[in-house]
C-alpha cells in the first residue's frame, strides 16, 4: 500500500502529519532555548507540569506517526523498525530490573531522536532552518544577558516530579567563574545550542563577513558558558568544513575527505573512554596548560578518564555477563538511574559510553547507520539539488560526534535530534527536487520546488 494509492484523503493526511511534525520540532527548539525561563515561570505559579508539554507533544507525535504511517512505505517501515529497536531496550531494561518510571523517563528522553528521524523522512530541514537565525540570536542574547545582570531563573528552589528533585536552572561555577546558562536550564545546554546552530548557519549562503561575525559571537558566548567541549568543536569545525568546500570544487575527493573526517571523529569518540582502562590504577593524570585559564583547566577530563568512564563500564557487572552483550537497557545509565540507582548514577559524558552501556554490542548498529547514512547523503546530494547543501550534513555529524566525545548528547535535546536525523539518512528517502529560481544573497538556501505528493508506489510494501 502506498500514499499515492490511497488517493486524495491520504495525500491530505500526509501533508497534515508533516505539518504536525514540523510544529512539534519548532516548539521543541524554542522551548529548549528558553527552558530555564519557562521552568521558572511555570514553577512560580505552581504549574510545573506545563514545562513538559513540548516533550509530551513529541511523544504524542511519535505515537501518531507509528499508528498512521508505521508500515505504509518501505521508508516508514525502516524508521519504524529503528524506533521499535529502541523500544525493545525499554523491555530489556525492565527485565534487567530497572524501575518502570526510570525506563519510561529514559524512553521519553529519546523523543527528540525519533523526531529528528521523522524530520528527515518528511524533508523538513529546509523549513526548520528558517527558524535557526532567530534561535541563534536568542541563544546568544540569553548568554550575554546572564553575563551582564542577575536574572531570577538562575538558582533558587527546584521542585519535585515523581519523587525526583528537578533544578529550575543549574547554578554552578568552574573554579570561581560562573557557568552562564542563558535563557536555558544549564550552561552546557546553551553551549550545545550555539554550537549546532552556528555550524548549521556556517553552511548557508551568508557572506563570509557575517559568517565570521557569527562564528566569533558564538565562540565568545560559549567561552562565557565555560563549556570546553562545545568550544573545541566550534573552533575546529570551520577549518574542516572549509576543507570540504574547497575540495568539492575538484570532484570526488570532497566525499572521500568527508568520510575521513567523520571516521576520525568517531574513532576519537570511541577511543577516549579506553584511556580509563589503560590508566586503570595509574593514579592522577597530569595535563599541561592547566593554569592558563582557570575555568578551562582539564581536571574534568582527567576525572572522566580516572573515574566516570571506568565506573560506567562497571555498571555492566551489576547485571552479570549478559549485560556485556545486551547492555543494561534504557535507564541503565543517565538520568533514568535517579529513580532507583542514585548511589551508582553515571551520566557517561561520552556518546559511545552511553550507547554501549544501554545497548551493549548492538550500539555498533548506530555507528553503522550513521556512517552509511552519511555516505548515502554525500554520494547522492551533489548529484541532485536538495534543500540542504552537502556540507550541511558534514557539519551536523561533526557537531553530534564532536559534542559526543565528552558530553551526554543523548540527553540533550538539540544534539540528539540531530543524531536521529543523521541516522535517518541511512533509511529515509532522498527525493530529488528541481531548483526553480535563485534567491537574493540573504536567503539561507536556494528555493526549491517542494512537493507534498506521496512517495512513488515503488517505495511501498
Quote the pLDDT of residue 352. 96
CA angle at 59 for the pair 404 and 54, rounded to the nearest 5°: 80
Name the band, by pLDDT with cuts 50, 70 and 90, for residue 215.
very high
Query: Could you tell me which of 109, 112, 99 has the C-alpha nearest to residue 163?
Result: 99
Mean pLDDT over 327-337 rounds to 94
Quote the pLDDT of residue 191. 96
Which pLDDT tens digit goes with each residue over 165-214? 777 777 666 555 677 899 998 899 999 999 999 999 999 888 999 999 99
Quote the pLDDT of residue 68. 82
Query: Lowest-pLDDT range, 116-125, 229-238, 270-279, 345-354?
Result: 270-279
Quote the pLDDT of residue 71. 78
Counting residues of the chain whose pLDDT is more than 90, the rounded percentage is 56
CA angle at 411 for the pair 408 and 416, rounded to the nearest 5°: 90
Which pLDDT tens digit goes with each residue over 372-403? 988 888 876 554 434 578 889 999 999 999 99
Query: Could you tell me which of 349, 343, 352, 339 has the C-alpha nearest to residue 318?
Result: 343
Query: Lowest-pLDDT range, 299-313, 318-332, 404-418?
Result: 299-313
376 against 458, higher pLDDT: 376
Quote the pLDDT of residue 13. 72
* CA 354 – CA 409 distance, rounded (Å): 9
Grid cell, residue 24, equals 512539534
* CA 6 – CA 47 distance, rounded (Å): 43
* CA 409 – CA 204 distance, rounded (Å): 24
Quote the pLDDT of residue 188. 92
What does the DSSP assignment read for 213-257? HHHHHHHHHHHHHT-HHHHHHHHHHHHHHHHHHHHTTTSTHHHHH
Residue 285, pLDDT above cutoff 90: no
Name the band, by pLDDT with cuts 50, 70 and 90, for residue 35.
very high
Residue 81, pLDDT above cutoff 80: yes
Query: Could you tell me which of 134, 94, 167 has the C-alpha nearest to residue 330?
Result: 94
CA angle at 166 for the pair 43 and 116, rounded to the nearest 5°: 95
Query: Lowest-pLDDT range, 134-143, 144-153, 232-241, 251-260?
Result: 251-260
Q: How many CB atoms lie within 10 A of CB 283?
A: 7
The chain-wide mean pLDDT, for the chain, equals 83
Quote the pLDDT of residue 312. 94
Which pLDDT tens digit goes with each residue over 128-165? 999 999 999 999 999 999 999 988 888 767 777 766 67
Is 312 exposed, middle or buried, given 0-12, 13-18 or 19+ CB atoms closer than 10 A? buried
Amino acid at each position: 500500500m502506498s500514499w499515492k494509492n490511497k488517493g486524495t484523503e491520504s495525500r491530505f493526511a500526509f501533508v497534515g502529519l508533516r505539518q504536525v511534525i514540523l510544529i512539534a520540532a519548532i516548539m521543541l527548539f524554542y522551548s529548549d532555548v528558553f527552558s530555564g525561563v519557562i521552568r521558572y515561570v511555570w514553577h512560580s505559579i505552581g504549574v510545573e507540569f506545563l514545562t513538559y508539554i513540548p516533550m509530551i507533544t513529541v511523544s504524542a507525535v511519535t505515537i501518531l506517526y507509528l499508528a498512521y504511517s508505521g508500515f505504509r512505505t518501505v521508508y516508514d517501515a525502516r524508521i519504524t523498525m529503528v524506533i521499535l529497536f529502541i523500544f525493545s531496550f525499554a523491555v530489556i531494561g525492565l527485565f534487567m530490573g530497572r524501575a518502570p518510571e526510570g525506563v519510561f523517563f529514559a524512553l521519553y528522553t529519546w523523543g527528540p531522536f525519533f523526531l529528528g528521524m521523522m524530520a528527515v523522512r518528511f524533508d523538513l530541514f529546509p523549513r526548520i532552518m528558517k527558524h535557526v537565525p532567530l534561535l541563534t540570536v536568542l541563544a546568544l542574547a540569553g548568554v550575554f544577558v546572564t553575563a551582564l545582570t542577575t536574572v531570577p531563573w538562575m538558582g533558587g528552589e527546584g521542585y519535585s516530579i515523581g519523587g525526583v528533585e528537578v533544578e529550575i536552572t543549574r547554578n554552578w561555577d568552574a573554579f570561581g567563574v560562573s557557568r552562564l546558562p542563558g535563557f536555558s536550564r544549564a550552561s552546557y545546554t546553551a553551549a550545545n545550542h550555539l554550537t549546532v546552530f552556528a555550524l548549521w548557519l556556517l553552511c548557508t549562503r551568508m557572506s563570509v563577513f557575517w559568517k565570521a561575525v557569527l562564528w566569533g559571537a558564538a565562540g565568545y558566548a560559549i567561552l562565557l558558558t565555560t563549556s570546553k567541549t562545545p568550544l573545541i568543536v566550534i573552533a575546529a569545525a570551520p577549518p574542516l568544513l572549509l576543507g570540504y568546500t574547497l575540495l568539492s570544487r575538484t570532484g570526488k575527493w570532497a566525499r572521500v575527505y568527508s568520510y575521513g573526517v567523520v571516521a576520525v571523529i568517531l574513532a576519537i569518540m570511541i577511543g577516549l573512554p579506553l584511556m580509563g582502562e589503560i590508566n586503570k590504577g595509574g593514579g592522577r593524570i597530569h595535563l599541561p596548560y592547566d593554569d592558563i585559564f582557570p575555568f578551562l583547566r582539564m581536571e574534568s577530563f582527567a576525572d572522566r578518564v580516572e573515574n566516570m568512564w571506568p565506573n560506567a563500564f562497571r555498571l555492566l557487572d551489576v547485571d552479570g555477563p549478559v549485560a556485556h552483550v545486551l547492555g543494561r537497557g534504557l535507564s541503565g545509565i543517565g538520568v533514568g538511574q535517579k529513580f532507583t540507582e542514585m548511589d551508582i548514577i553515571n551520566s557517561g559524558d561520552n556518546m559511545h559510553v552511553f550507547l554501549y552501556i544501554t545497548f551493549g554490542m548492538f550500539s555498533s548498529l548506530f555507528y553503522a547507520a550513521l556512517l552509511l547514512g552519511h555516505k548515502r547523503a554525500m554520494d547522492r546530494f551533489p548529484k541532485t539539488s536538495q534543500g540542504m547543501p552537502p556540507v550541511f550534513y558534514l557539519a551536523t555529524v561533526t557537531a553530534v560526534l564532536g559534542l559526543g566525545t565528552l558530553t551526554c548528547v543523548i540527553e540533550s535535546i538539540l544534539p540528539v535530534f540531530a543524531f536521529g536525523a543523521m541516522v535517518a539518512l541511512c533509511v529515509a528517502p532522498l527525493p530529488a527536487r528541481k531548483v526553480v529560481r535563485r534567491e537574493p544573497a540573504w536567503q539561507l538556501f536556494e528555493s526549491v520546488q517542494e512537493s507534498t505528493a506521496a512517495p512513488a508506489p515503488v517505495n511501498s510494501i
